[in-house]
Amino acid sequence: MKNIYISLVIVLVLFVSCGDTQNNTELLQEQEVQTDETYGNPDFKFPKVSTSAESFLNDWTVFDDFKTEAIAINGSNLSTLKNRSEYLVSRVDSLIKKIPDTLDTQSVYSRLLVAKTRAALLKQLANKVTIDNAEIDKGVYEMNLATTNLIVQINEKFQKDAIDSERTENEKKEMELRKKKMDSILRVEKQDLLKKQ
């Protein structure tokens, strides 16, 4: 009787372990199918960098590397996305560490932090054991949005600087004009005083 129970337990253990192997095989096959899917929009275009910002950003080479990686994640498959998201996290870290003084403002810095967070989340999604295509697609979309917001903020920073510079220049011209008017008024008054004497 004892032998029957032992035999029955062994048979049950074998069935359970065979079922686990079959589930693992199905999971691996499902993941292989999912790696062929592409994520993001391969036709996605980031906003253009303004000409004033472009000349400055040419000296900030890390930004160009970051933008290249951000473009490359669109239309990539899972294995490419895993590599690109790793590079993207690295590039954003470099951007934050090497931010130029001209762009070292709270608004630009906060956009960089958002981009860093989105890149880290995308990397995490791409390296999960169980792949969720919708989540990865959403992660790529959010990374695109974070990159777009960063570029827009950089453009706005240079636009604001240009407006401030123009305003300062206009104020200088206005002060010079006022000074000339005051000088001419003083000259006329002085001439009037001399004529009266």
Beta partners for residue 39, in sequence order: 76
pLDDT digits (tens, 9 = 90+) for 63-120: 999 999 999 999 999 999 999 999 999 999 999 998 998 889 999 999 999 999 999 9
Query: What is the pLDDT, as a whole number, of residue 64?
Result: 92
pLDDT digits (tens, 9 = 90+) for 31-57: 444 557 899 899 999 999 999 898 888
The domains located in the chain, with CATH, are 35-168 (1.20.120)
Question: Is the pTM value of this prediction over 0.95?
Answer: no
Residue 27 has pLDDT above 80, yes or no: no
Residue 29 has pLDDT above 60, yes or no: no
Instruction: Output phi, psi for 39, to 5 deg.
Output: -120, 150
